[in-house]
């Protein structure tokens, strides 16, 4: 007579608990990286849109400089920079008179007419690294660059060079 085959047994409670702990640790690591990369992708998207706006603004500045139209150059200061773009950025909600008290969805761009600034409200993705932004805001501001620095006394002053730029004002 042969040996009686042993009955197949299932996993013990210890083996099951070990698998559950291992799965939980792997799920936690995956969640950490998903949230981190999601927040980093949003940040990169905002930086890309700001670079696009700055490039378009630089083109408008060059047009005004080539035309010699200082008035058009000065008129750019305080304007909505999204109006200069051919297509608004994804999530652009338009212009509002005041941000306070407005329910604006997270992950959106909006132009505050009262403060004359473009605001991006971050979606609130947590990335566990301590870097978390609520919003960034930008304003098209006029720059007046002096042309007579380090000149000897009595040298006639030239007209100051005018320009505009998109500056981050807070965030």
- For residue 29, being part of any structural domain is answered with yes
Q: Has residue 68 been placed in a domain? A: yes
CA distance 132 to 77: 30
- 121-156 confidence digits (pLDDT tens): 988 766 555 667 788 899 998 876 555 555 666 655
Domains held by the chain: number: 1
Q: What is the pLDDT of residue 98?
A: 77
- Measured CA to CA, the distance from residue 162 to residue 164 in angstroms comes to 7
The pLDDT-based confidence of 28 (bands split at 50, 70, 90) is: very high
* Number of helical H runs and strand E runs in the chain: 2, 5
In a domain, 80, yes or no: yes
Rounded Cα–Cα distance for residues 167 and 138 (Å): 5
Residue 4 tokens read as: 């009686």
Give the model's pLDDT for residue 36: 87
- 118 found inside a domain: yes
- Report if residue 165 sits inside a domain: no
Does residue 43 sit within a domain? yes
Please report whether residue 152 resides in a domain: no
| 18 in any annotated domain | no
Domain containing residue 108: 24-138
> Per-residue pLDDT tens for 44-101?
999 999 999 999 999 998 898 888 888 888 888 889 999 999 999 999 999 988 777 6
């Amino acid at each position: 007579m042969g040996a009686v085959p042993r009955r197949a047994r299932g996993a013990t409670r210890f083996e099951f608990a070990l698998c559950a702990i291992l799965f939980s640790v792997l799920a936690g690591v995956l969640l950490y990286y998903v949230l981190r990369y999601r927040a980093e992708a949003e940040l990169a998207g905002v930086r890309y849109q700001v670079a696009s706006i700055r490039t378009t603004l630089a083109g408008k500045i060059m047009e005004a400089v080539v035309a010699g139209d200082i008035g058009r150059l000065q008129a750019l200061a305080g304007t909505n920079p999204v109006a200069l773009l051919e297509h608004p950025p994804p999530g652009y909600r338009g212009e509002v008179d005041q941000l306070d008290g407005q329910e604006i969805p997270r992950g959106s761009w909006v132009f505050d007419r009262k403060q004359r600034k473009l605001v991006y409200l971050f979606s609130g993705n947590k990335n566990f690294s301590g870097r978390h932004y609520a919003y960034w805001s930008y304003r098209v501001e006029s720059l007046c660059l002096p042309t007579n620095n380090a000149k000897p006394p009595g040298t006639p002053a030239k007209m100051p060079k005018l320009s505009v730029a998109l500056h981050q004002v807070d965030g």
